[in-house]
Structures are given as C-alpha cells and as structure tokens.
Amino acid sequence: MGAALRHLAEVRRYCDSWNTRDLEGLLAAFAPGGTYTDPAVTGPPLSGPTLEAHARALFLAFADLSFEVASAGAMNGGPDNRDVVVRWLMRGTHSGPLEHYFPASGYSVLPPSGGALALPGVDLLTVTDGQIVAAERHFDRQTMADQLGFQVIVQPDTDGMWQNGFAARATGGSTAVPGAISLTWTDVRSSEEAGLIDEIGGQFGTELTEAPGFISVVTGGIGSRFLRSPPGKTNRPSGQPCATNCTRPVSDVSTPRTSWAPSAREYLPHTESAPFWCAARRARA
C-alpha cells in the first residue's frame, strides 16, 4: 500500500481529470509520449492528440461522466514500485453521440440511448517521475452495451458458406404492393469511407422516408460491401429497367435523381461502385 500512497497525487490528478472532463489536465497527467489504451482502442495505444480525441468522444457521449474510485494499490512485483492498479465504477447517462467505442457496430456513431451506466473496471497505471507513462483501462464492453440498451450480436465473418453481416429496416406502415424495388451497393476500401457512407446514408434515408409513395427501406452491410436503401430511388438512367420485381420502368416510378442525391459522386468520388439501395415504392394510380 506504500507504493499506492507514494503515487497518490499522480493517481488523484489523473482520476480528477476524467471526473471534471478536463482534457488539458488529462493530457498533462501523462509524461511526453505516455500512452493510453482500453477495449475500444483497436489500434496502437493512444498518445497526445489521439488520446484527446478519444476522451473527447466519451465526454460528448456522457456529459455527466464520473469515476468513483473504489481502491488504489501497488501491483506486486512492479519495477521500482511504479505500477498502480485503480478499481473504479464509471457512471453516466448516454446523452450524446457515442463514437469509436463499438467499432464492429454497423453504426460508426451510436445515437444517444438515454441509458445509465454503472460500469466497473480497472486502470493499470505506470508512473515515473510524477507522470503516467502508460495507462491500460479494462472494462467489459458487453456489460456497457447491455446497460445502454444496445444489441450485441456475436457471429463469425463467415461460416464457410455464408458471409455474415448486419441489416436494418424502416417502414412507413404502408401495406401497398410495391410498384418498384431498387438494388445497389457500395464497396468501401477503408474505415474512413465506411464512416462517410454511414453518415450520408443516414442523412439520405431520413429524407427519403418522407418521399411520396415510400413503403420501406432495408439497409445493411457484409464485409466491405455496404447496403443502403433510399425508397423508390435509383441511380440508373431514366427509362432503363430497375432491379428485380419492378413493375414499371424507372422513369415511371422514380423522382429525379437530383431530389435525393445530387452530390452522391461529390461525397463518394472514389468508391468503386454506386451506393446500395434496396427499397420499395408504390405503383402510381
């Protein structure tokens, strides 16, 4: 316990920075080049600007974020008594967008759920000359997701025959027989492109659910292929047949392209194929 007391000031400064959501104070608690990681960090440990962005995302998602420290003690066998373990309970209300914490999700940014966190965890800290040189945070993302009301689906990318992915659907409640169903997709080549698809797909989808004749939208993704669905719209030239199950040529069932994606190529100038749209629209009377 002596080692814990020896580094009490450093541990308190680090924890207080999280509790007061003080980005400047948090970065100052770390030595130059000091690193941080947690289960949501999928790449190398964070430092400096990347740590700042990661903490900022958490503060934005949980405006009332707090860490109740249960105990702090020396880790047995640590060199020069530098290593400290801190047990804590993270509390907060999910009131803002949550980014990066569930990278395998179909959502690059998870919308506020209103869920309340009471998440236990530990920080393993290495302290040298009054500053933190390494911080490892450990918590259970399954518990975090459950407390926030998120679905957690565990599945392999493939079982040998089937590729697995995700899907979602929105409907306007209409039971009309579709007059047209259109299908398109986007193959993305990076996580940045995937995030862009997610962002503009949500924007277009929201607008298109208000389009005349809207029935339903299905979206999804498998690997690098993203499936999106603006209802009754297509980027095929007017007059050409649309995808399977259409009863009329596109010119009869689609509003002009400029009404839904005038700058799709501006947003996605480097994607290898068009956005995927799978949607149903009523036949005109």
Q: How far is CA 145 from the centre of its chain?
A: 12
Q: What pLDDT, on the 0 to 100 scale, is given for residue 108?
A: 66
179-237 pLDDT, tens digit per residue, is 777 777 778 888 777 777 777 777 777 777 777 788 888 877 787 777 654 443 333 33
| Residue 159 domain flag | no
At 227 the pLDDT is 66
Q: Quick one: pLDDT band at residue 104, thresholds 50, 70, 90? A: low
Taking all residues of the chain, what is their mean pLDDT, rounded to a whole number? 75
Last residue of one domain, picked from the residues 148, 176, 196: 148
Instruction: Please check whether residue 157 lies inside any domain of the structure.
Output: no
Are residues 76 and 195 both part of a single domain? no
Domain total in the chain: 2
Judge if 6 and 131 occupy the same domain.
Answer: yes
Between CA 69 and CA 282 the distance in angstroms is 58
Of the candidates 5, 99, 29, the one whose C-alpha atom is nearest the C-alpha of residue 59 is 99
Question: Is the distance from CB of 180 to CB of 247 less than 8 angstroms?
Answer: yes
| Alpha carbons 206 and 3: distance in angstroms, whole number | 56
pLDDT for the residue 228? 54
Q: What is the pLDDT of residue 4?
A: 44
Query: Which residues form the domain of 41?
Result: 2-148
Give the pLDDT score at 105.
61
Q: Per the structure block, which two tokens stand in for 121?
A: 């965890």
- Cα 126 from Cα 7, distance rounded (Å): 10
Q: What is the pLDDT of residue 238?
A: 33
Residue 229 shares a structural domain with residue 91: no
DSSP 58: H
| 173 in the same domain as 143 | no
Above 60 in pLDDT, residue 74? yes
Q: Does pLDDT of 45 surpass 80?
A: yes
Q: Which two tokens stand for residue 94?
A: 């999910």
CATH number at residue 126: 3.10.450.50
Q: Is residue 158 part of a domain?
A: no
Distance CA 198, CA 187 (A): 13
Q: Could you tell me the CA-to-CA distances from 110 to 32, 48, 124, 143 in Å, in that order?
A: 32, 25, 28, 16
- Which pLDDT does position 58 carry in this prediction? 95
Q: Are residues 140 and 189 in the same domain?
A: no
Q: Quickly tell me which residue has 């009054």 as its tokens.
A: 130
User: 129 lies in a domain?
Assistant: yes
Does one domain contain both 225 and 171?
yes
Integer Cα distance of 24 and 37 in angstroms:
18
Q: Which residue has the higher pLDDT, 205 or 165?
A: 165
Does 153 fall in a domain? no
Same domain, 142 and 42: yes
Q: Are residues 7 and 127 in the same domain?
A: yes
Q: What is the pLDDT of residue 24?
A: 96
What beta strand segments (E) does the chain contain?
30-37, 66-74, 83-93, 98-99, 109-110, 116-128, 131-139, 166-171, 178-182, 186-187, 214-222, 225-227, 278-282
Query: In the predicted model, is pLDDT for residue 123 greater than 60?
Result: yes
Query: How confident is the model at residue 215, as a pLDDT?
Result: 82
Q: Which helix (H) or strand (E) holds 55?
A: helix 49-61
φ, ψ (nearest 5 deg) of residue 200: -75, -25
Q: How much is the pLDDT for 221?
A: 78
> Which pLDDT score is estimated for 203?
74
**pTM of the full predicted structure?**
0.65
In this structure, is residue 6 part of a structural domain? yes
Indicate if 182 and 246 belong to the same structural domain.
yes
DSSP string, 98-112: EESS-TTSS-SEEPP
Out of 148, 183, 207, pick the residue that ends a domain: 148
pLDDT for residue 83 is more than 70: yes
Tell me, yes or no, whether 134 and 179 share the same domain: no
pLDDT of residue 157: 81
Let me know if residue 194 belongs to a domain.
yes
Q: Which of 119, 148, 177 is at the close of a domain?
A: 148
**What integer is the mean pLDDT of 118-124?**
97
pLDDT band at 257 (very low <50, low <70, confident <90, very high): very low
User: Confidence class of residue 176 from pLDDT cuts 50, 70 and 90?
Assistant: confident
Asked whether residue 132 falls in the same domain as residue 8, the answer is: yes
Is pLDDT above 90 for 22? yes
